[in-house]
């Protein structure tokens, strides 16, 4: 581990420059203390003592870094990702420390779906903001699982804080009120946010697109950023199932998978009983 | 509401016969006290005062019943499912009371993915059982979110309690240990469980299929019940993302959607970094 000091120097520099970085350290098993420094935009540095272990830990820690999450992961000596050999062979425990803010999910609309979506997003490590203009609905009591509940129209939020949003973040517009959803979508489009989902039936979606066109949304590249109707086509009905379909779409969109979204289908979203 | 007494009679009979049933009652808005009795295997009885509202509440309450969950849902007067008109018009609050046990998820293998899957499944309303033969891993301290943690080999669990499992339930086999996963899969196949997912890379899956064939699994209809590799193809990497992909597949499989599963694809599950 002769290069540990320079590895820490690079870590220090990256933290100071606010660049997301992960430090992986073997805390149990062979090579205790061995380190790997990872970053989304460059090759990893250091080694845990096995190239395949390095490769797997790099992959996993980049995902942890995207979620802004730290914790201990367990591997086989060659990076096996589930402890199939835990009884018969050595296990390597790796502390993955992420130096990055948690990704954000901004939910516009304090409706029945909002609490379910906030709950599932919290499991994924998101910082969740709920925003609605109606103060009787946007209350901490209704959304105890959210990190922040705001009573506001959408535009001021995007004007003041839109710069916080980047490719790892998501905006979901769950209200069907044109007074609220049109500015929420237009606001989200001014940011670099990686996912914009808009809830509604295909009929609602068609009417909303008319209003968005009137509001100035005509660029096909911009329109392509809207995932609407929101969510993967898994037949979700309850708020909780819908939350799963939305989070699955957020993941698929970020990883570039072509798993069918409701947006790319046709017909009613809910099948008839 | 002249038929309310006979509606309660039917409810009583269904509860006594252990048949899943939901009772929907308007608790706020027009027609307070109006009732609708729903069941998966027959037309709904009673009315909430509007045919479209009846249709939507029937749809939602059947889904709630599947999750064994009770609670208040809010609708527009014609069954609008999000409160877009909450400010300008009356809202109907409906108490949906489900008379059915929660669906069950049995997870075999107390590994890193287990806790994440248990957490997401709890949001969906599942009763979660975690089972592993290794008592150092199958502990309540590691899985506080599970309803039950068992130290056992798989077969005794299926012999003693397999009859509890039906189409609403799910079995996920997350260990890669042949001593454990082969009997867990064979045990699950003896039940009526609606979803059987088995974790592993395509290589692990191929080797496992060889062992399952040796164990007597040759019927194509039985093989078709196995979702392996487990989960929808959304590019999941972390345990939490994998949990989302599994729960999305459980929902899609139950609703009959053809959303691509990892099972039906090819190539590596994780893309190269």
B174 at A interface, C-beta within 8 A:
yes
Question: Which DSSP category does A269 fall into?
Answer: S
Lowest mean pLDDT among A161-165, B82-86, B151-155: B82-86
- In B, minimum Cα distance to A252 occurs at B234
Contacts within 8 Å (CB) and 24+ apart, B256-260: B256/A235, B257/A233, B257/A234, B257/A235, B259/A232, B259/A233, B259/A234, B259/A259, B259/A260, B259/B232, B260/A259, B260/A260, B260/B232, B260/B233
pLDDT band at A127 (very low <50, low <70, confident <90, very high): very high
Identify the CA nearest to B39 among candidates B56, B17, B55, B23: B23
What is the second-level CATH architecture of the domain A104-264?
3-Layer(aba) Sandwich (3.40)
Interaxial angle between packed helices B239-255 and A239-255, expressed in degrees from 0 to 180 and rounded to the nearest 10: 120
pLDDT, tens digit, 9 for 90 and up, residues A169-202: 999 999 888 899 999 999 999 999 999 999 988 8
pLDDT, tens digit, 9 for 90 and up, residues A214-270: 999 999 999 999 999 999 999 998 899 999 999 999 999 988 888 888 888 877 766
Cβ <8 Å between B255 and A240:
no
Lowest mean pLDDT among A206-210, B99-103, B146-150: B99-103
**Interface pTM (ipTM) of the complex?**
0.77
* Mean pLDDT of the region B64-80: 85
Torsion of CA A232, A238, A243, A246, to 10 degrees: 20
Cβ <8 Å between A84 and B243:
no
Lowest mean pLDDT among A226-235, B38-47, B60-69, B158-167: B60-69
Give yes or no for residue B151 having a pLDDT over 70: yes
Interaxial angle between packed helices A178-189 and A202-214, expressed in degrees from 0 to 180 and rounded to the nearest 10: 70
Nearest-angstrom CA–CA distance, B113 and B103: 20
pLDDT for A272? 40
**B84, B176, B240: residue with CB nearest A84:** B176
Structure tokens at B183: 């009997």
Give yes or no for residue B84 having a pLDDT over 60: no
Q: Label residue B113 exposed, middle or buried (CB < 10 Å: 0-12, 13-18, 19+).
A: buried
Decide which of A159 and B87 is more confident. A159
* 8 A C-beta contact, residue A22 and residue A40: no
pLDDT for B139? 94
* Mean pLDDT of the region B93-99: 92
Cβ <8 Å between A238 and B86:
no
Decide which of A111 and B83 is more confident. A111
Read off φ and ψ for residue A155, nearest 5 degrees: -55, -45
pLDDT for B25? 95
Cβ <8 Å between A251 and B244:
yes
Task: Locate CATH 3.40.50.720 in chain A.
Answer: 104-264
Cβ <8 Å between B244 and A63:
no
Chain A 50-109, CB below 8 Å of chain B: which residues? 55, 58-60, 62-64, 67, 69, 73-74, 80, 82-84, 86-87, 109
pLDDT, tens digit, 9 for 90 and up, residues A33-49: 999 999 987 899 999 99
**A123, A235, A260: residue with CB nearest B256:** A235
Q: Using a pLDDT cut of 90, give the percent of chain A over it.
A: 62
- What pTM does this model have? 0.79
């Amino acid at each position: 581990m002769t290069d540990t000091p320079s590895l820490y120097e690079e870590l220090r520099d990256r933290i100071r420059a606010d660049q997301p970085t992960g430090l992986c350290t073997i805390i149990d098993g062979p090579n205790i203390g061995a380190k790997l420094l990872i970053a989304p935009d460059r090759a990893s540095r250091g080694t845990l003592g096995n190239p395949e272990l390095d490769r797997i830990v790099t992959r996993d820690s980049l995902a942890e870094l995207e979620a802004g999450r730290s914790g201990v992961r367990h591997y086989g000596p060659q990076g096996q990702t589930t402890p199939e050999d835990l009884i018969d062979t050595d296990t390597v425990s790796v502390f993955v420390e992420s130096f990055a803010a948690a990704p954000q999910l901004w939910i516009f609309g304090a409706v029945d779906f909002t609490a379910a979506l906030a709950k599932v997003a919290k499991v994924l490590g998101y910082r969740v903001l709920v925003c609605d203009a109606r103060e009787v609905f946007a209350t901490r009591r209704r959304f105890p699982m959210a990190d922040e509940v705001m009573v506001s129209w959408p535009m001021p939020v995007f004007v003041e804080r839109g710069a916080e949003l980047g490719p790892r973040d998501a905006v979901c517009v769950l209200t069907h009120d044109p007074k609220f959803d049109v500015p929420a979508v237009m606001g989200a489009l001014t940011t670099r946010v990686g996912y914009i989902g808009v809830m509604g039936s295909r009929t609602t979606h068609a009417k909303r697109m008319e209003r968005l066109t009137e509001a100035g949304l005509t660029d096909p590249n911009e329109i392509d950023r809207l995932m609407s109707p929101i969510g993967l086509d898994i037949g979700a009905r309850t708020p909780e199932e819908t939350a799963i379909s939305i989070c699955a779409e957020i993941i698929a969109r970020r990883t570039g998978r072509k798993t069918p979204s409701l947006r790319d289908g046709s017909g009613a979203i809910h099948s008839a009983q």
